Amino acid sequence: MTNYSIQKASFDDFPIIQKIAFATWYPTYGHILTQEQSTFMLDMMYSETSMTQQFNNNQFLIFYENEKPVGFAGFENKGEVMKLHKIYFLPETQGKGFGKTMIEEVSKISKAAGCKYLELNVNRNNKAKNFYEKQGFEVFKEEDIDIGNGYWMNDYVMRKVLF
């Protein structure tokens, strides 16, 4: 039987978050983004400098399966909206219900903070969109974000009503 726990992360957990992000990135985005864009984005989002900034504005949770870190989420309170910036699980753990459990935990934290919506961006070519729809998210709008170096994120913004 699998035992799991979700724990609040501190900056000392940055190496765990980085390791999961790197292990998950290419199986998730390898067919969507070029190698060059992936390298640029991983450095942009998971360098020590970037993670230091993110820990100033975001909360992070780490998901443990049998005491092994297998996933994480990063989110930010923006008033009536809790923005789920990141949710990643190691590929070998996907399909076990961990993502659903993590979204439920972030939803609970969001409600307690008085947020009306949980919102996230998902690449328009990412099959995870179907997963998010099953969790109660709906496409709110489309967004094209210039992230620099000539690269763009072409996303759906999805929202889940919390109340």
We report the CATH number of the domain holding residue 21 as 3.40.630.30
- 159 within some domain: no
pLDDT of residue 2: 72
Q: What contacts 138, CB < 8 A, 6 or more positions away?
A: 158, 159, 160
Total structural domains within the chain:
1
The closest of 106, 109, 57, 113 to 80, measured between CA atoms, is 113
- 16 within some domain: yes
Residue 129 buriedness (CB in 10 A; 0-12 / 13-18 / 19+): middle
- 128 within some domain: no
Tokens 């035992």 -> residue: 3
Q: How far apart are CA 3 and CA 66, in angstroms?
A: 5
Residues of the chain with pLDDT under 70: 1
- 8 within some domain: yes
- 74 within some domain: yes
Q: H or E segment at 114?
A: none
Asked if 13 and 62 count as a contact pair (C-beta separation under 8 A), the reply is yes
Q: How far apart are CA 15 and CA 143, in angstroms?
A: 30
The tens digit of pLDDT for each residue in 54-64 reads: 999 999 999 99
- 53 within some domain: yes
The tens digit of pLDDT for each residue in 132-159 reads: 999 999 999 999 999 999 999 999 999 9
The parent domain of residue 11 ranges over 4-118+144-153
- 158 within some domain: no
Give the end-to-end CA distance of the chain in Å, rounded to a whole number.
33
